[in-house]
Chain A
């Protein structure tokens, strides 16, 4: 974690962005995008999560590479669990 002190204005900007994205994701769920509703919702959630991680949790400004490795590894490991499990479920009915 660096000693970089961010301006409070910047935090407020991130806050506003997060609130807007929240409203957007709720509103857009009422629009029929077919199978893409789920994708859009998850993309917006990921953008929000990135804003929190990078700015509120200071990961953008840290000089510590290990932090980023830990975060990426954890997310990757979760994907391993999800992907390899789904590999079974998605192919069970194949002949």
Chain B
């Protein structure tokens, strides 16, 4: 039976048999992850397209909806994600340098920041629930109509804003949850010593994913929270 006649060098169990060498495996993983992120850009992009068109049509309703969001919580959450990106970047660096304990700490910190973000998001959504701003049968924006009479808000159009708000932040939160799950696995394997300066690809790839989710939020924040705040 012909097993791999090519890779006869000594290699660890992490080198998969169909690759010629570790570098090819790592290059493949990297390209694969970037391509996946490209698909995610298009995935979120569809909703950005819907957002763009309805903001073009219903600017007033978008402004009112935006102002009903808590800008402090939104800003803090943005900062939380930025901190998590820092810990991720430092974590990859720790892996590159073979600092196992530091890597574990940084991965755990990232998870903590991730949970913090989700927690704050939960608080924001709960506020929307209390204000009856969640689209559906109990949707009611009389409060916004009353607060911003000059905007002449049509509640049907306002519901479109909030539908997009929940769809976009919801999809983002789902990606955060998946990211946290991924990082739990990474932390476990890091603690077990699986990642060395020769092989830390999963940490790197997890990092790329996490940074991407951060970037999505970097755009969501101004688009959802900062419309027409100056008036």
A binds B: yes
> Contact between A71 and B226 (Cβ–Cβ < 8 Å)?
no
A residues near B223, Cβ cutoff 8 Å: 41
Which B positions have Cβ atoms within 8 angstroms of A? Answer: 26-27, 30-31, 34-35, 37-38, 41-42, 45-46, 48-49, 52-53, 56-57, 71, 74-75, 78-79, 82-83, 85-86, 88-90, 93, 96-97, 204, 207-208, 211, 214-215, 218-219, 221-223, 226-231
> Contact between A56 and B52 (Cβ–Cβ < 8 Å)?
no
> Contact between A5 and B96 (Cβ–Cβ < 8 Å)?
yes
A residues near B31, Cβ cutoff 8 Å: 64, 66-67, 70
Bound together, the chains give a CA A64 to CA B208 distance in angstroms of 15
> Contact between B82 and A19 (Cβ–Cβ < 8 Å)?
yes
- Whole-angstrom distance between the Cβ of B200 and the nearest chain A Cβ: 10
Bound together, the chains give a CA A2 to CA B83 distance in angstroms of 24
B residues near A77, Cβ cutoff 8 Å: 41-42, 45
Bound together, the chains give a CA A66 to CA B38 distance in angstroms of 12
- Residues in A1-44 with C-beta less than 8 Å from chain B: 1, 3, 5-6, 8, 11-12, 14-15, 18-19, 22-23, 25-26, 29-33, 37-38, 41-42, 44
Bound together, the chains give a CA A57 to CA B33 distance in angstroms of 12
B residues near A55, Cβ cutoff 8 Å: 89
- Whole-angstrom distance between the Cβ of B230 and the nearest chain A Cβ: 4
> Contact between B90 and A52 (Cβ–Cβ < 8 Å)?
no
Query: Which of chain B's residues has its CB closest to A55's CB?
Result: B89
B residues near A41, Cβ cutoff 8 Å: 222-223, 226
Bound together, the chains give a CA A90 to CA B26 distance in angstroms of 45
B residues near A64, Cβ cutoff 8 Å: 27, 30-31
Bound together, the chains give a CA A12 to CA B204 distance in angstroms of 18
Bound together, the chains give a CA A49 to CA B53 distance in angstroms of 23
Given A26-B74, A56-B86, 18 more pairs with CB closer than 8 A: A1-B30, A5-B96, A5-B97, A8-B90, A11-B89, A15-B83, A18-B85, A30-B230, A37-B230, A48-B218, A56-B211, A57-B208, A78-B41, A81-B46, A82-B52, A85-B53, A89-B53, A89-B57
Count of A residues near B, CB < 8 Å?
A: 49
Query: Which of chain A's residues has its CB closest to B31's CB?
Result: A66
Query: Which of chain B's residues has its CB closest to A74's CB?
Result: B38
> Contact between A11 and B93 (Cβ–Cβ < 8 Å)?
yes
A residues near B215, Cβ cutoff 8 Å: 48-49, 52-53
> Contact between B230 and A75 (Cβ–Cβ < 8 Å)?
no
- Whole-angstrom distance between the Cβ of A3 and the nearest chain B Cβ: 7
Convert A48-65 into 0s and 1s, putting 1 for each residue whose CB lies closer than 8 angstroms to a CB of B.
110011011100000010
Residue among A8, A31, A78 making CB contact with B45, cutoff 8 Å: A78
- Whole-angstrom distance between the Cβ of B65 and the nearest chain A Cβ: 15
> Contact between A81 and B45 (Cβ–Cβ < 8 Å)?
yes
Bound together, the chains give a CA A1 to CA B38 distance in angstroms of 17
